[in-house]
Amino acid sequence: MATDSRDDSAIAAIRNRIWFTVMAVIVAALALVPVLGTSLSFSFYLMLWITMATGLNIIAGFTGYMPLGYVAFYGIGAFATAILTKMFGVPVYVSILVGGVCGVLLSLLFAPTLKLKGIYFAIVSLGLAIICRLVIVNLPESWAGGSYGINLGLSISPVVTFYYMLAVMVAALLTITWLAQSRLGKALRAIRDDDQAAEVMGVNVVGTRLKAWMLSALFGALAGGVEAWYTNIIDPESAFQFLVTAKTVIYAIAGGLGTVTGPVIGAIVMVWVDDLIWQRFPIFNLFLLGLAIILLILFLPRGIVGSIIQRKPSWRRYIL
């Protein structure tokens, strides 16, 4: 964005203050959920999707890659967490962090795909996620539980898990807030808009992209790990389900890719809508979800925040 380079620090300060206030309100409201005893599960998944949408935003929104296999990181995080906890007796909150590292390692393994573009990248990424699932299904049952999955066998304390998820979400939000304003974020946007021009300007295209890819993977894997802890049982079919990627992408787009606030707002609105549909029309849920996606893409292609910025360009200065 051309305005970014001319940003004067006063506007940046106001913008940050608005965003941090919004973030503080969201975090405070969520932190109070277990105390007030409102729906724990709903809020847990809300935080999960905010984290996922924000993680995806790092790679899709800031660099223009659409990883249709994003669920691979989520799945690998979940399985690494489960295997470490169950087989090696590692305390679960450590396993989750190691699971996050596994996600980053996987992203390094997949790094060569970043030289692909557009639909090729999207499809190869989807293929890799399916290969991950098949590899886990084909591993010896004593390791990864085969197609039946793993029961973590933890004594569940939903509230502790809830706060762990909150911590992961806050980490994701702070990371993207920093990213959007850092040199790295500007380099990423430059690459997204024109990678050759960015290269000429001295941006290390390959290295910069890789950083975004790793960060994106980290948060996907952490979210998967916490979810494995929360449900206490995982299986390859659901841990690598395409619907996870689809929801992440849709929630992020509903808010608006490429803005920090967009995917957060998108996730909040859409998780709520999804929940409402699920309650009212349990059988029709999938049908209505499909319809909602179509209407969203056709009539609000830039998402909620994206459309606001499009209508009132001057607000760009106040929305991160």
Partner 1 sequence: MTYLILNGLANGLILGVIYAMIGVSLSLLYGVLQVKNFAHGEFLIAGAYFCYVLYNAFDLHPLLALPLAFLCFMAFGWLLNNLVMPRLQRSDDPMLASLLVMYGVSLMLAASMLLLFEADFRSLDFSFQPISMKVGILYLPTARLVAMGVTVAILLALAWFLYFTLPGKAIRASIMNRDAVQIVGVNINRLSAAAFALSIGLAGASGVMVSMVFPSFNPFVGVDYTLIGFIVVVLGGLGNPMGAILGGIIFGLAEQMSIVFLPQTMAPIIGFSIMILVIFFRPNGLLGKARGT
Q: Which residues bind partner 1 (CB under 8 A)?
A: 66, 112, 116, 118-120, 122-124, 126-128, 130-131, 134-135, 137-138, 242, 246, 249-250, 253, 283-287, 289-294, 297-299, 301-302
Residue 171 or 205 having the CB closest to partner 1: 205
How far is Cα 296 from Cα 252, in angstroms, rounded to an integer? 12
Q: How far is the CB of 302 from partner 1 (least distance, A)?
A: 7
Residue 44 or 121 having the CB closest to partner 1: 121
Q: How far is the CB of 201 from partner 1 (least distance, A)?
A: 19
Q: How far is the CB of 68 from partner 1 (least distance, A)?
A: 8
Residue 112 or 207 having the CB closest to partner 1: 112
Q: How far is the CB of 211 from partner 1 (least distance, A)?
A: 22
Residue 14 or 109 having the CB closest to partner 1: 109
Q: How far is the CB of 250 from partner 1 (least distance, A)?
A: 7
Residue 159 or 297 having the CB closest to partner 1: 297
Q: How far is the CB of 203 from partner 1 (least distance, A)?
A: 19
Residue 103 or 258 having the CB closest to partner 1: 258
